[in-house]
C-alpha cells in the first residue's frame, strides 16, 4: 500500500502539469454522454476542495471515503487514470486513491431472471470492455436461499468452466421456507443487495460508485459494510479488530515470518462484522486464487481476485457465535483432537543428537513438569531428507520414542513436502516411487517434475490434488513409521515454500506467472518463494491451487496417520485454507522471542478459532532470537490457556524448555502447566462442542458481549468459551495489568473472591508468578487433578467448579471418551454429563454413558455463596465440607464414592 501511493505521489509531482491538457479533453468527451448519471444521495461532509484541476466533472464529485480505487494495478498517473474514464484528484491523507471511479459505471446488466427451487438465477451481460483484458461478456448469477440464516450466491461464466474450489460444502436443493435476509437485484447496472429483514439494514451491498468487473484474470466486486468493525481475513499479523482506514490485505499462501499486514502462511477470505446495534454477520468468498481485499472507511470492502469464480456465502447470525457456527457449518467442523494433544508439547530446532533430546526429556521429567509430547524439527533427518532419520547422530531416536510411549507420552516429527530429487537412483525410495507413480507437480510444459529448492537441496513437490499421491504419501509415512513410530505429523514449508523463485530454472513468460494484475503480495510476484503459477497439478494449474497446497497435505497426512496408527491423528500444519480445521491444527509460524510476539499470539489464536481451526497456538517463549526468563515465564503462563501449547525455539538460541530456568521461574511454569492440566476436561469438552456444532474454543470479549462496544477492540484479554477470562501481562517489567471487566458476575479463579463487572477498566495486581484469570458466574467447570502426563492425569479424580450467577444458578457439561479412538463422537462411544445448579442444589444428568470407565468425583467447589452452609449432602448422605475466608465452599466427595457416570445430587443448606 505504502509503496503504491508513494509511487503515485511521485508521478503526480512529475506529470501533473504535462497531462493536464489531455485530461480536460478526456473529460469533455465523457461529459457528452452523461445525461443519465446516477446521483448518489450520500451526504458529503468530508468533501475535499483541494483546488484540483480535473474535478469540474460532476460524476467525480465524490467524498474521500466513497472513492473506489480505479488503479489497483499501481503506477497511476493522471493520464493513465483518465484514459480509463476514471477521476483523478489528489487526496489529503495517505491511502485515499487519487484515481477513482466516477459515479456512473457501466458494469453488467441483468438480461433475465428466473425463479428456481433453491432461489433464483439471472443472466448478466456487458456490452463494452472494461480496462482489463478478456472480459467475460456473459455471466450467470445463482442465488441460493440455503437456510434461514445462510445465503449462498455464485457468479460464474455459464459458457466456460472456471476453477472452483473443491472443498465439501452443504448441497442444498430447496429454498429455505423463511429467511432472515432479503435479496434485491438491481438491473442496470447489475448490483446485489442483501438486507437483514429485522433491521432493514444491508449487510452486503454492491450498489456503489464502482463497477463490477469479471475478466478472465481480474474479478473485482465491492460491497459496503454495515459498520467499521471487521474481524477475520487471514492469515495476517494484526490487531484482532481490523483497520478499515484504507488497508489492503493480500491473500496468497507464503513462507513468511509474521510481519504486520503481509500475506502469511494461510488463506482465509472470511470476515465477521457488527452493525450499529451489535448484530453480527459474516461474509465468506470461497476462492483460492491470489487476491486483495481492500477495506476503506466508507466503510466498504473491495475484493480483487485473479481467477476462479465469485462464490459468496453470507451468514446473518445474529450473534457472533451464530455467525461462527454458520460459517463452520459451511466449511466443515473442526476435527476432534486426541486428548494427549491438549497437553504440553516441547520442541526445538538445533538438537545435535538423540542424546540432546534425551537430556531434555530427563530434565523435564526430573522437574516433574506436566509434559505430553516431545517433537523434532528437521535435525533428526539424514541430510534433511524426508522420511529418513540420521542413524548416526540420532541412532537412539527409535528407543527414545519407545521410552516416551512406555511413559504414556507421544512423539511428533516435522515433515516438509519437498522430496529430494538429487539422490542416486535406487537409493531414495520417496523420490523413485513418486517419479514412477507420477505424483509430483509438473513443469508447465509437462516435461517433468518442477524442481525447487528446500532444506535438502533440489526437490520435487507431491501434488496432493492427485488421488494417487494420497496413497503415495501414506506409503512413505508408513515405511518411515516402521523405523520411528511417530504419533503426529508437523507439516511445515507447505505454502509450498521454495528457496528459489518459481523453480531452479525460474518461470517462463506467460499470463499465469505474470498476470495482468498481481495482488499486493510480499515479493511482488506470484512465484516468489514458491513454485511457478504455470506449473501443473493433476486437476489444474498451480495458479488456482497454490493456496490449497497445505490443505491438501493436511488431508493426506491425516489419512496416513489414521491408517498407520488406527488412532486419532494429530497434524499441525503451517499453511491452511477454509476447511483445513477438519483435518489439522495450526501453529502461528516463525515468530520471535519478543514481547510484541507475545501480544500478537492472542489475535492469532482468536482468528484461527474463527476460521474453524481451534487447535492453534504460537511458539511459546518465541522461536527466533533468544528469550529471557521474564518473557518465557509470562509466556508459559499465557500459553497454559492456548488451545495448543508448544514451546519451540530456533537453532543457535539458548535452551528455553522450562527445566533450564531458575527455581522460581520453574515453579511458576510448573504451576501454569498444572493449571492447564487441571482444566483439560473442560478444554476437551469445548473442543467436542466445536467438533459437533462449530464454535470458538477461545473467544474475544467482543463476541461474547456484542452489545458492549467497549469490547470491540479488546485483544489483550480473551475468553475460553463463555467461562474463563484471561488477562495476561504482555509487557516487560510490569507487575500489574489493565483489564476490562464486562458487565457480568466474575470471580477470581484462584481465590474465589467475587469481582463485580461493571463494564469498566480496572488495574489488577500481576506479579511475575501470577496470571489473572476470572471465571464467569453461571459456569460449571469440570476439572481433573493434574499429573505429569495426560495419560496419568486421566486416571485421577475429577472435581467440579460451580460458579453461581447473581441469581444462584450455573450450568456446565463434561464430554469424556478414551481420547484416542477415531470417530467416538460419530459412533456415540462417549459419556456426556450435564450439570446444573440452582436453589442450592447441584445436579448432574447423564445424557450418554457409552464409554465404560472409572470417573471418580473427588471434590466440588462452589463460588458465589454469601454465607457458610449449615450442612451439605451428596446423594442424600452427609458430606464433609469447608467454607473458606473467601466464601468458597469445598465439598469432599471422595469418601462417598460418586462415579460421574451416574447422576448425582449435592445440596447445601444455608
Write down the catalytic residue from 492, 513, 597, 813. Answer: 492
- Of 258 and 299, the one with the shorter C-beta distance to ligand NAG is 258
User: Is-contact 815 688, C-beta < 8 A?
Assistant: yes
Positions in 556-615 near ligand NAG (CB under 6 A): 590-592, 594, 597
What are the grid coordinates assigned to 75, written together?
Answer: 503506477
**DSSP code per residue over 539-552:** SSBHHHHGGGHHHH
Q: How many CB atoms lie within 10 A of CB 47?
A: 11
Taking the mean position of all CA atoms in its chain, how far away is CA 161?
A: 30
Considering only CA atoms, which of 197, 264, 270 is closest in space to residue 233?
270
Least separation, in Å, of the C-beta of 485 and ligand NAG?
Answer: 31
* DSSP secondary structure letter of residue 896: G
For 398, phi then psi, to 5°, come to -60, -40
Assess 257 for contact with ligand NAG (CB under 6 A).
yes
Q: Report the residue number whose CB is nearest to ligand NAG.
A: 624
Assess 624 for contact with ligand NAG (CB under 6 A).
yes
- What's the rounded Cα separation, in Å, for the pair 344 and 337? 14
Least separation, in Å, of the C-beta of 623 and ligand NAG?
Answer: 5
- Of 121 and 261, the one with the shorter C-beta distance to ligand NAG is 261
- Of 575 and 591, the one with the shorter C-beta distance to ligand NAG is 591
- What's the rounded Cα separation, in Å, for the pair 151 and 144? 6
H or E segment and range at residue 564: helix 549-565
- What's the rounded Cα separation, in Å, for the pair 168 and 386? 30
Least separation, in Å, of the C-beta of 317 and ligand NAG?
Answer: 11
Least separation, in Å, of the C-beta of 461 and ligand NAG?
Answer: 24
- Binder of ligand NAG out of 95, 367, 462, 742 (CB under 6 A): 95
Q: How many CB atoms lie within 10 A of CB 847?
A: 12
Positions in 717-736 near ligand NAG (CB under 6 A): none
- Of 746 and 835, the one with the shorter C-beta distance to ligand NAG is 835
Stretch that binds ligand NAG, among 13-21, 242-250, 549-557, 825-833 (CB under 6 A): 242-250
**The total number of residues written for the chain in this structure:** 910
- Which residues are registered as beta bridge partners of 155? 141, 310
| Strand 344-346, strand 373-376: pairing | parallel
Assess 245 for contact with ligand NAG (CB under 6 A).
yes
- Of 322 and 637, the one with the shorter C-beta distance to ligand NAG is 322
Considering only CA atoms, which of 619, 493, 471, 615 is closest in space to residue 550?
493
- Binder of ligand NAG out of 35, 839, 867, 870 (CB under 6 A): 839
> Has 487 been annotated as catalytic?
no
**Half-sphere exposure (CA, 13 Å, Cβ side) for 102?**
25
- Of 110 and 323, the one with the shorter C-beta distance to ligand NAG is 323
- What's the rounded Cα separation, in Å, for the pair 655 and 670? 17
| Helix runs in 756-838, H state only | 790-793, 824-827
- Of 540 and 601, the one with the shorter C-beta distance to ligand NAG is 601
- Of 475 and 873, the one with the shorter C-beta distance to ligand NAG is 873
Least separation, in Å, of the C-beta of 815 and ligand NAG?
Answer: 11
- Of 139 and 262, the one with the shorter C-beta distance to ligand NAG is 262
Write down the catalytic residue from 275, 379, 495, 528. Answer: 495
Residues contacting ligand NAG: total by CB under 6 A: 20
Residue whose cell numbers read 433491521: 199
Stretch that binds ligand NAG, among 109-117, 257-265, 289-297, 782-790 (CB under 6 A): 257-265
The radius of gyration of the chain's CA atoms, rounded to the nearest angstrom, is 29
> Has 492 been annotated as catalytic?
yes
- Binder of ligand NAG out of 325, 648, 682, 783 (CB under 6 A): 325
Assess 693 for contact with ligand NAG (CB under 6 A).
yes
Assess 623 for contact with ligand NAG (CB under 6 A).
yes
- What's the rounded Cα separation, in Å, for the pair 257 and 350? 19
CA 879 to each of CA 781, 810, 871, 895, 904: distance values in angstroms, whole numbers, following the listed order: 21, 21, 8, 8, 13
Positions in 75-94 near ligand NAG (CB under 6 A): 94
Considering only CA atoms, which of 186, 118, 188 is closest in space to residue 153?
118
Stretch that binds ligand NAG, among 12-20, 239-247, 287-295, 376-384 (CB under 6 A): 239-247
- Binder of ligand NAG out of 97, 189, 258, 332 (CB under 6 A): 258
- What is the 3 state secondary structure string of 701-717? HHHHCCCCHHHCCCCCC
Least separation, in Å, of the C-beta of 597 and ligand NAG?
Answer: 6
Taking the mean position of all CA atoms in its chain, how far away is CA 844?
A: 35
Least separation, in Å, of the C-beta of 634 and ligand NAG?
Answer: 17
Stretch that binds ligand NAG, among 80-88, 244-252, 448-456, 533-541 (CB under 6 A): 244-252
Question: Between vectors from CA 39 to CA 36 and to CA 44, what angle results, nearest 5°?
Answer: 155
Least separation, in Å, of the C-beta of 70 and ligand NAG?
Answer: 20
Least separation, in Å, of the C-beta of 246 and ligand NAG?
Answer: 6
Under the rule (CB under 6 A), what is the footprint of ligand NAG? 94-95, 243, 245-247, 257-259, 325, 590-592, 594, 597, 623-624, 692-693, 839
Catalytic residues: 492, 495
Amino acid at each position: 500500500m505504502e509503496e503504491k501511493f508513494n509511487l503515485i505521489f511521485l508521478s503526480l509531482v512529475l506529470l501533473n502539469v504535462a497531462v493536464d491538457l489531455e485530461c480536460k479533453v478526456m473529460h469533455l468527451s465523457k461529459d457528452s454522454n452523461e445525461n443519465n448519471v446516477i446521483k448518489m444521495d450520500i451526504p458529503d461532509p468530508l468533501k475535499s476542495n483541494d483546488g484540483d484541476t480535473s474535478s469540474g466533472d460532476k460524476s467525480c464529485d465524490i467524498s474521500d471515503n466513497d472513492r473506489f480505487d480505479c488503479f489497483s494495478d499501481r503506477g497511476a498517473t493522471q493520464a493513465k487514470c483518465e484514459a480509463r474514464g476514471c477521476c483523478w484528484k489528489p487526496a489529503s491523507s495517505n491511502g485515499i486513491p487519487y484515481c477513482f471511479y466516477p459515479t456512473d459505471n457501466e458494469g453488467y446488466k441483468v438480461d433475465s431472471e428466473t425463479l428456481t427451487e433453491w432461489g433464483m438465477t439471472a443472466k448478466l451481460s456487458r456490452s463494452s470492455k472494461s480496462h482489463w483484458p478478456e472480459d467475460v461478456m456473459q455471466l450467470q448469477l445463482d442465488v441460493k436461499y440455503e437456510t434461514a440464516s445462510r445465503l449462498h450466491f455464485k457468479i460464474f461464466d455459464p459458457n466456460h468452466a472456471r476453477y472452483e474450489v473443491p472443498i465439501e460444502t452443504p448441497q442444498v436443493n430447496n429454498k429455505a421456507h423463511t429467511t432472515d435476509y432479503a435479496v434485491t437485484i438491481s438491473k442496470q447496472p447489475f448490483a446485489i443487495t442483501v438486507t437483514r429483514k429485522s433491521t432493514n439494514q444491508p449487510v452486503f451491498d454492491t450498489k456503489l460508485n464502482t463497477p463490477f468487473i469479471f475478466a478472465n484474470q481480474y474479478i473485482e466486486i465491492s460491497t459496503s459494510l454495515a459498520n467499521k468493525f471487521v474481524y477475520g481475513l487471514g492469515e495476517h499479523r494484526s490487531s484482532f479488530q481490523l483497520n478499515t482506514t484504507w488497508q489492503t490485505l493480500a491473500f496468497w499462501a507464503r513462507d513468511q515470518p509474521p510481519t504486520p499486514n503481509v500475506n502469511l502462511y494461510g488463506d482465509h477470505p472470511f470476515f465477521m462484522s457488527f452493525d450499529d446495534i451489535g448484530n453480527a454477520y459474516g461474509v465468506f468468498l470461497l476462492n483460492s486464487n491470489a487476491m486483495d481485499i481492500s477495506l476503506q472507511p466508507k466503510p466498504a470492502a473491495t475484493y480483487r481476485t485473479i481467477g476462479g469464480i465469485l462464490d459468496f456465502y453470507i451468514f446473518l447470525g445474529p450473534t457472533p457465535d451464530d455467525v461462527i457456527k454458520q460459517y463452520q457449518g459451511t466449511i466443515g467442523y473442526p476435527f476432534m483432537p486426541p486428548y494427549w494433544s491438549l497437553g504440553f508439547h516441547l520442541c526445538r530446532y538445533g538438537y545435535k543428537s538423540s542424546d540432546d533430546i534425551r537430556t531434555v526429556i530427563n530434565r523435564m521429567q526430573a522437574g516433574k513438569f506436566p509434559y505430553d509430547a516431545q517433537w523434532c524439527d528437521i535435525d533428526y533427518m539424514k541430510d534433511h531428507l524426508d522420511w529418513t532419520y540420521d542413524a548416526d547422530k540420532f541412532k537412539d531416536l527409535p528407543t527414545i520414542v519407545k521410552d516416551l510411549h512406555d511413559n504414556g507420552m507421544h512423539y511428533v516429527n516435522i515433515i516438509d513436502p519437498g522430496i529430494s530429487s538429487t539422490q542416486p537412483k535406487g537409493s531414495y525410495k520417496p523420490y523413485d516411487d513418486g517419479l514412477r507413480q507420477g505424483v509430483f507437480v509438473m513443469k508447465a510444459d509437462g516435461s517433468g517434475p518442477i524442481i525447487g529448492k528446500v532444506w535438502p537441496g533440489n526437490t520435487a513437490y507431491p501434488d496432493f490434488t492427485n488421488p494417487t499421491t494420497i496413497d503415495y504419501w501414506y506409503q512413505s509415512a508408513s515405511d518411515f513409521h516402521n523405523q520411528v513410530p511417530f504419533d503426529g505429523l508437523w507439516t511445515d514449508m507447505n505454502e509450498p515454500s521454495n528457496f528459489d523463485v518459481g523453480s531452479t530454472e525460474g518461470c517462463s513468460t506467460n499470463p499465469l506467472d505474470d498476470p495482468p494484475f498481481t495482488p499486493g503480495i510480499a515479493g511482488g510476484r506470484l512465484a516468489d518463494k514458491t513454485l511457478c503459477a504455470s506449473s501443473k497439478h493433476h486437476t489444474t494449474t498451480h495458479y488456482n491451487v497454490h493456496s490449497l497446497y497445505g490443505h491438501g497435505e493436511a488431508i493426506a497426512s491425516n489419512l496416513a496417520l489414521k491408517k498407520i496408527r488406527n488412532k486419532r491423528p494429530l497434524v499441525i500444519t503451517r499453511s491452511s485454507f477454509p476447511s483445513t480445521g477438519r483435518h489439522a491444527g495450526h501453529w502461528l509460524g516463525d515468530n520471535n522471542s519478543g514481547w510484541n510476539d507475545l501480544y500478537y499470539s492472542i489475535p492469532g489464536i482468536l482468528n484461527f478459532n474463527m476460521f474453524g481451526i481451534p487447535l492453534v497456538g504460537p511458539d511459546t517463549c518465541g522461536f527466533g532470537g533468544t528469550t529471557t526468563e521474564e518473557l518465557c515465564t509470562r509466556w508459559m503462563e499465557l500459553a497454559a490457556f492456548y488451545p495448543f501449547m508448544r514451546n519451540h525455539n530456533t537453532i543457535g538460541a539458548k535452551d528455553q524448555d522450562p527445566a533450564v530456568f531458575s527455581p522460581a521461574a520453574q515453579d511458576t511454569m510448573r504451576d501454569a502447566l498444572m493449571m492447564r492440566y487441571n482444566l483439560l476436561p473442560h478444554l476437551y469438552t469445548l473442543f467436542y462442542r466445536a467438533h459437533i456444532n462449530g464454535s470458538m474454543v477461545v473467544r474475544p470479549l467482543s463476541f461474547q458481549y456484542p452489545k458492549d462496544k467497549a469490547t470491540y477492540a479488546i485483544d489483550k484479554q480473551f475468553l475460553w468459551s463463555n467461562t474463563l477470562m484471561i488477562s495476561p501481562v504482555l509487557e516487560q517489567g510490569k507487575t500489574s495489568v489493565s483489564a476490562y471487566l464486562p458487565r457480568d458476575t466474575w470471580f477470581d479463579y484462584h481465590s474465589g473472591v467475587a469481582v463485580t463487572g461493571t463494564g469498566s477498566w480496572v488495574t489488577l495486581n500481576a506479579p511475575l508468578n501470577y496470571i489473572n484469570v476470572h471465571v464467569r458466574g453461571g459456569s460449571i467447570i469440570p476439572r481433573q487433578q493434574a499429573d505429569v502426563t495426560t495419560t496419568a492425569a486421566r486416571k485421577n479424580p475429577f472435581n467440579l467448579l460451580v460458579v453461581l450467577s447473581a441469581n444462584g444458578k450455573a450450568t456446565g457439561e463434561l464430554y469424556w471418551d478414551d481420547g484416542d479412538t477415531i470417530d467416538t463422537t460419530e459412533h456415540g462411544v462417549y459419556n456426556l454429563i450435564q450439570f446444573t445448579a440452582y436453589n442450592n442444589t447441584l445436579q448432574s444428568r447423564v445424557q450418554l454413558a457409552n464409554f465404560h470407565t472409572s470417573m471418580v468425583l473427588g471434590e466440588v467447589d462452589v463460588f458465589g455463596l454469601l454465607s457458610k452452609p449449615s450442612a451439605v449432602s451428596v446423594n442424600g448422605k452427609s458430606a464433609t465440607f469447608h467454607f473458606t475466608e473467601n466464601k468458597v465452599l469445598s465439598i469432599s466427595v471422595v469418601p462417598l464414592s460418586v462415579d460421574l457416570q451416574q447422576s448425582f445430587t449435592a445440596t447445601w443448606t444455608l
